[in-house]
Amino acid sequence: MRTATIQRDTLETQISLTLNLDGRGESRVETGCGFLDHMLTLFARHGRFDLTLTCRGDHQVDDHHTVEDVGICLGTAFREALGDLRGICRYGSFALPMDETLILSAVDISGRGLLRYTAALPTEKVGTFDTELAEEFWGAFARCAAITLHIRQLDGTNSHHILEGTFKSVARSLRAAVAIDQDFRDEIPSTKGVLG
């Protein structure tokens, strides 16, 4: 089983996270930010990742530290759970339609953290969630997971749909990328022999 447990304590957040890449999509998520909880629950289900996550954050300031630090921890957990990257498919992409919205994501488990994020969110908030924080989350996640992550909004006019489509699409791209290719089970998926 490819699993990782992360504990991160700062003056802004205290986070405990357990991830199983080979799960059933079960999750227990409590971050104190309802919209983020909803997105991570969808992420776990669509990626078939088991995720247990609790975060105590400084919400009296805003949700920024919680969202970014959860991205850091989730990305770190992915990197640790993947181990030496032997046998993984490495690449994954998914175009996800959700009503009027269409989101394309593509992942390369490259060993190099990079985010390219193109989304036009029509509102500054979904409920109490600042929509600009989604890019902060994915940037932290990509850096700490050491992956190249492209997210592109191809269509959409509803901020909730755009953000939800993003989490679902990335989850499905990651699900494909972390899968073990049985034909190359003992190989690093790179002509260099290493990723990074």
Q: Is residue 13 part of a domain?
A: yes
Cα gap 20→42, rounded to integer Å = 15
Residue 187 has pLDDT above 80, yes or no: no
- For the residues of 30-77, what is the DSSP string, one character each? E-S-HHHHHHHHHHHHHHT-EEEEEEEE-TTT-SHHHHHHHHHHHHHH
CA pair distance 159, 193, nearest whole angstrom = 42
Whether 66 is covered by a domain: the verdict is: yes
Number of domains in the chain: 1
Distant-in-sequence, close-in-space partners of 183: CB < 8 Å, separation ≥ 6: none
> Do the domain assignments include residue 190?
no
Rounded CA-CA distance 142/149 in Å is 6
Are 19 and 3 in contact by the 8 Å Cβ rule? The answer is yes
Percent of the chain with pLDDT over 90: 88
Burial 148-177 (b: 16+ CB within 10 A, else e): bbbbbbeebebbbbbbbbbbbbbbbbbbbb
Residues 76-90 as b/e (b if ≥16 CB within 10 A, e otherwise) read bbbbbbbeebebbbb
User: Per residue in 147-172, pLDDT tens?
Assistant: 999 999 999 999 999 999 999 999 99
When pLDDT is averaged across residues 39-53 and rounded to a whole number, the result is 98
**For the whole prediction, is pTM greater than 0.85?**
yes
Q: What pLDDT does 195 receive?
A: 67
Instruction: Tell me if 192 is assigned to some domain.
Output: no
- What are the backbone dihedrals phi and psi of residue 54, each rounded to the nearest 5 degrees, phi first? -130, 140
Say if residue 39's pLDDT is above 70: yes
Q: 111-141: per-residue pLDDT in tens? A: 999 999 999 999 999 999 999 999 999 999 9
* pLDDT higher at 196 or 114: 114
Domain that holds residue 8: 3-184
| Between 181 and 95, residue with greater pLDDT | 95
> Does some domain include residue 195?
no
Query: Is 118 within a domain?
Result: yes
With respect to residue 189, please indicate whether it lies within any of the assigned structural domains.
no
Supply the CATH number for residue 22's domain.
3.30.230.40
pLDDT score at 194: 65
**191 domain residue, yes or no:** no
Cβ partners under 8 Å of residue 181, min gap 6 = 87, 88, 89, 189
Q: Please identify which residue in the block is written with the tokens 């991830």.
A: 19
Q: What is the pLDDT of residues 65-120, one digit of tens each?
A: 999 999 999 999 999 999 999 999 999 999 999 999 999 999 999 999 999 999 99
CB atoms within 10 A of CB 186: 6
